[in-house]
Amino acid sequence: MKFTSLFALFASAQAQEWSNVYPNAADFLFGVATDATNANVMHSTGGVNGVGGVVVYTLDGGQTFNGTKLPSALGLSMGIASDGDDIFTVGFPSSAYSHDRGATFSETPPSPTTNPLLSQAAASDSGAFYVTGMLLGGRNGVSRSTDGGETFESFVIDKDSISTIARYGSFVGDTWYVTGGTWPADEDVNKDKSERMLTKRFTAEGHYKPQMKRGDGDDDGADSTFVAEIAKSTDGGKTWSNVFEDVGNFYFNGIDCLDSMTCVAVGESDADSPDPGSRVWSTTDGGQTWVENFKTSDPQESLFTAKFVSKDEIWAVGGNVSNRQFLGRVWSSTDWAEKGEDSSWADVGGIDNAWLTDIGMAGEDGDAFAVALTIQSTASVFKYTAA
């Protein structure tokens, strides 16, 4: 794919709720940042083969898109967050910021003690950017910037709180939640060790393998089983505690918190797990108790992230990803808090040939932008227009 195609213009004329507003926007897109106060703005980050990290964005509700190549230190970019004119994107092994809504990016200057080193997750809260992942020295942590992504301060997460890899975070004032987890290594995918796995089925280079072989039960390494963890801090990252741990069944991806007590996290596992499938877990008491609101038993079901659409409604997004076809999932529930394990979920996605990697709510009327991988190894931008 030529980078010039990022500058192509597309009209979003379709009337259905989900429309593909930018087909084949890049080779892969992984993160979405939207603006709660302006439904027209969406930034997404990912990569184009032969070009490197890119940000694809619209300022007019998806009618036209521009693309910006990221500084070459960002081989690839996985996570993105926005705060008005400030955009921050994090990749491997660097990050970049923009103060002009994505038109130009500068690399965040490397710093041995504070910068995020490896991350696939950026978030924003009250004027700060947060990055979850690995800090220099290999420790898990969160980095926070209060100057639009130019400099960071880091907060280590101790091994007792997350024993595997810190993955995604959600931040509400001084209350921070971080998901962690790991999965058994797959020989086929990990043959080329230079590829970093973002999930069990997806590498940082944009390669994926929807369905893995069935496991033979061999335990042959430290990371040879599934682990799902959640850590919480109530003092702005100074101290942490573990509030969720499951060994053997799945790992967590994204987490979203409505307030300091109420969070939803999504997890998944493939056929190597004794209990495969996608799942949604939530808490309404600050992580003291967690409820599994939703579970599929299909190893082809994947969930990347969840979002509060409103105080009552959760969306969990991903896809049913067989080797032959993808079906983009947006599982929705409004009775999850009231019904717990018996809550009802409807698929308001059902988007053909899409494996949704991230979603962001745009504005206050229920519109959303999502990005998806296709079976042809390209990535597209979708828009949801609330009825």
Ligand X SMILES: *[C@@H]1O[C@H](CO)[C@@H](O)[C@H](O)[C@H]1NC(C)=O
**What is the SS3 assignment for 202?**
strand
Interaction of residue 24 with ligand X, rule CB under 6 A: no
What tokens appear for 165 in the block? 């890899």
- The DSSP line for 321-345 is E-SS-EEEEEEEESSHHHHGGG---
Between 298 and 342, name the residue whose CB sits nearer to ligand X.
298
Interaction of residue 322 with ligand X, rule CB under 6 A: yes
Interaction of residue 58 with ligand X, rule CB under 6 A: yes
Instruction: Choose, by CB under 6 A, the member of 59, 255, 265, 368 that binds ligand X.
Output: 59
CA torsion, ordered 379, 372, 46, 199, to nearest 10 deg: -120
Interaction of residue 301 with ligand X, rule CB under 6 A: yes
Instruction: Choose, by CB under 6 A, the member of 60, 100, 259, 312 that binds ligand X.
Output: 60
Interaction of residue 64 with ligand X, rule CB under 6 A: yes
Interaction of residue 296 with ligand X, rule CB under 6 A: yes
Task: Tell me whether the omega of the peptide bond preceding residue 93 falls within 30 degrees of 0, making it cis.
Answer: yes
Among the residue ranges 53-61, 107-115, 142-150, 232-240, the one whose residues contact ligand X (CB under 6 A): 53-61
Interaction of residue 121 with ligand X, rule CB under 6 A: no
Count Cα neighbours of 299 within 13 Å in the Cβ-side half-sphere. Answer: 18
Interaction of residue 284 with ligand X, rule CB under 6 A: no
Interaction of residue 100 with ligand X, rule CB under 6 A: no
Tokens 């409807």 belong to which residue? 346
Query: Sign of dihedral through CA atoms 350, 352, 354, 360?
Result: negative
Between 310 and 325, name the residue whose CB sits nearer to ligand X.
325
Interaction of residue 262 with ligand X, rule CB under 6 A: no
Instruction: Choose, by CB under 6 A, the member of 12, 68, 300, 357 that binds ligand X.
Output: 300
Runs of H (alpha helix) within the chain? 336-339
Separation of alpha carbons 110 and 95, rounded Å? 9
Query: Which of positions 302-321 make contact with ligand X (CB under 6 A)?
Result: 320
Separation of alpha carbons 316 and 46, rounded Å? 21
Interaction of residue 298 with ligand X, rule CB under 6 A: yes
Among the residue ranges 56-64, 206-214, 228-236, 353-361, the one whose residues contact ligand X (CB under 6 A): 56-64
64 DSSP 8-state letter: B
Site size for ligand X (CB under 6 A): 12
| Amino acid letter, residue 208 | Y
Which residues of the chain form contacts with ligand X (CB under 6 A)?
Answer: 58-60, 64, 66, 296, 298, 300-301, 320, 322, 325
